[in-house]
Amino acid sequence: MSDYSEKIVEIERVAKGIRRRVLEHSIANNGGYMSQACSSAELLSSLYAGILNFAPVAKPIAPPPFFGVPEIGVHTYVTGQQFHGEPGPNFDRLISSPAHYALVIYSALIETARLREDGLDHFNKDGSTVELIGAEHSPGFETTTGSLAQALSQAGGIALGRKLKGEQGRTWVFMSDGEFQEGQTYEALQACVFHCLDKLRVIVDVNMGQCDGPMETVMGIEPLQDRIKAFGWEVSVVDGHDIKAILAASEKITDVPHMILCYTDPVRGLPLLAERAPVLHYLRFTSPDERAKYEAAYKELIK
């Protein structure tokens, strides 16, 4: 295993910044997708600060105001892909599937100097592209994936197109575990193997929670690894907070698509959140007392 020590220091910094920014934002706005930040902070920071081969951006980009929806024959449309740098045959791409992680993704972009520091000031504000559920005009999104489980098929098409063009860069998909309840995911799994998309990579935040609560009470998906392997994928299972393990898995070269299942803890870094278990999907304070507790936790976090 390579020595990742230098990379890991940076990734840990980004992960900490993600949690801090999302908590700060949730306190200020009486709500936010906090557990998603806690579960995916190491996963997304590993992607943005360690794994993805993106072209650099000259300086952090200011989020544009909403500039209209895509229309027939309009070619001025710019997707949130611009925050990932100029695409090229050897660069990686990242398609984020659970658009509900938008706040977390925006935070990762700020921490990696791709989105301007004040980007979150525009979050969920009228006329902004920094939307609550990211669409393809939102920073870090190049497709529209708020209707869950569509990204893997879209990315499969992108990976197939890149393969036809002989491009060497990888196409990454960030997914959430709830999407393994949707039938389309399994259609996509079989198609990606059938069409030999060896440069397709999927990384999943398996935080075992969804809108209604713990997944095992909503619709079980285990044994997830066995299911995906049965479709012909290469699968790695890692502790989603173990940066070294995520980095090692990301380097695997395979002749079939590869999926990294990151098992995560939805309250990691913010144990206070466990008091709200089992429903962790969205943090909205129920009393001034609760809010005060989170403010105290925030002070602890920024020490």
Partner 1 sequence: MSYEIVVRPHQQNFIDWSLDKPKVLVLSADLTNSCEVAKWRDTYPDRFFSMGMAEQNMLGFAAGLAREGFEPWLHTFSVFLYRRPLDQLQMSVAYPSLKVRLVGFLPGIMTPGGVTHQAIEDIAIMRAIPNMTILEVGDATEAQSVLDVAHSIDGPVYIRQLRGEVSRIFPADEPFIFNKARILSIGTDITLITSGVMTEEALRVVPLLQEHGVTISHLHISTLKPFTDPAIIAALSTAKHGVITMENHTIVGGLGSAVAEIMAERGMGVPLQRIGLKDTYAHGASQKFLMSEYEMDAAALVRAVETALGRKLNILETEIHAQRAVDVHSSAKAEAL
Q: Which is nearer to partner 1, 71 or 226 (CB)?
A: 71
In the bound state with partner 1, the residue whose beta carbon lies nearer, of 81 and 236, is: 81
Binds partner 1 by CB under 8 A, chosen from 44, 52, 159, 215 = 159
143 binds partner 1 (CB under 8 A): yes
Q: Which of 172, 147, 135, 176 is nearest to 40 (CA)?
A: 176
Figure out which of the listed residues 29, 30, 90, 147 binds partner 1, where binding follows CB under 8 A. 147
Q: Which range of residues in 114-122, 143-151, 204-212, 213-221 is near partner 1 by CB under 8 A?
A: 143-151
Stretch of 60-68, 190-198, 221-229, 286-294 lying at the interface with partner 1 (CB under 8 A): 190-198
Helix axes 288-301, 5-29, angle to 10 degrees: 160
Tokens of 2: 């390579």
Pairing of strands 209-210, 213-214: antiparallel
Q: Which of 7, 116, 125, 195 binds partner 1 (CB under 8 A)?
A: 195
By CB under 8 A, is residue 144 in contact with partner 1?
yes
- Min dist CB 128 to partner 1, Å, is 18
Task: Establish if 129 lies at the interface with partner 1 (CB under 8 A).
Answer: no
HEC states along the chain? CCCCHHHHHHHHHHHHHHHHHHHHHHHHHCCECHHHHHHHHHHHHHHHHHHCCCCCCCCCECCCECCCCCCCCCCCCCCHHHHHCCCCCCCCEEEECCHHHHHHHHHHHHHCCCECHHHHHHCCCCCECCCCCCCCCCCCCCCCCCCCCCHHHHHHHHHHHHHHCCCCCCEEEEEEHHHHHCHHHHHHHHHHHHCCCCCEEEEEEECCEECCEEHHHHCCCCCHHHHHHHCCCEEEEEECCCHHHHHHHHCCCCCCCEEEEEECCCCCCCHHHHHHCCCCCCECCCCHHHHHHHHHHHHHHCC
Q: Which of residues 36-75 bind partner 1 (CB under 8 A)?
A: 69-74
Indicate whether 146 belongs to the interface with partner 1 (CB under 8 A).
yes
Binder among 155, 206, 235, 261 for partner 1 (CB under 8 A): 155
By the rule CB under 8 A, 156 interacts with partner 1 = yes
Smallest gap from Cβ 55 to partner 1, in A, equals 17
Residue number with CB closer to partner 1 (161 or 271): 161
Name the one range near partner 1 by CB under 8 A: 30-38, 106-114, 191-199, 256-264: 191-199
Least distance from partner 1 to the Cβ atom of residue 185, Å: 9
Tell the smallest beta-carbon distance from residue 102 to partner 1 (Å).
16
Q: Which residues bind partner 1 (CB under 8 A)?
A: 69-74, 136, 142-147, 150-162, 164-165, 183-184, 187-188, 190-191, 194-195
